[in-house]
Amino acid sequence: MRRRDFLYNSGLLLPALLASPSLVMASAKTINTALLIIHDEDMPASVATVINALPATATQLDSRKITRIRYTNNGFQATTNDNITYIAEKLMVHAVHRINTQQAAVEVHAGNKTFPLAYLTETANKVTPECWFLKTNQLHSGKLTPFINRNRHAILCLTGS
């Protein structure tokens, strides 16, 4: 009886695994973190010191390794070259970015790609993240703690000194 159940269940799962292995194995390649930090190759020592002193779990990604950034109801999702997806409630960008007022979005330049993250929508039903902007030399734990403790998804963009 057990062997028949095993064979039946295997017959159901095997086609799904063959049709879409990335979706079946997705849980192994999804990492949840409280704060996702996207940075260029050079991060100032002052920023690294503040990040290391945080009580929240933070994950740092080099902007050149990112293939996709998007905002969903679950938070920010960043996918890397090796198909690992990072999901975070808060996103801190220490890379090239700009505000596109025509699209109402913050455009993050990662490598040679541009990813727009909308901060306004035309429909009231879609949730949008808060946008915070700070100069790099103004960043300290007193300003970063309220950002992390906010009960909303938010993006913090660090600009040059």
In a domain, 74, yes or no: yes
In a domain, 58, yes or no: yes
In a domain, 101, yes or no: yes
Q: Which of 146, 138, 159, 141 is nearest to 50 (CA)?
A: 141
In a domain, 64, yes or no: yes
**Domain boundaries, position 135:** 28-159
pLDDT digits (tens, 9 = 90+) for 34-78: 888 888 767 777 777 887 777 777 888 888 888 888 888 888 899
User: What is the number of domains present in the chain?
Assistant: 1
Question: Is the pTM of the predicted complex or chain greater than 0.85?
Answer: no
Helix (H) or strand (E) holding 11: helix 2-19
In a domain, 18, yes or no: no
In a domain, 105, yes or no: yes
Averaged pLDDT of the chain: 79
In a domain, 13, yes or no: no
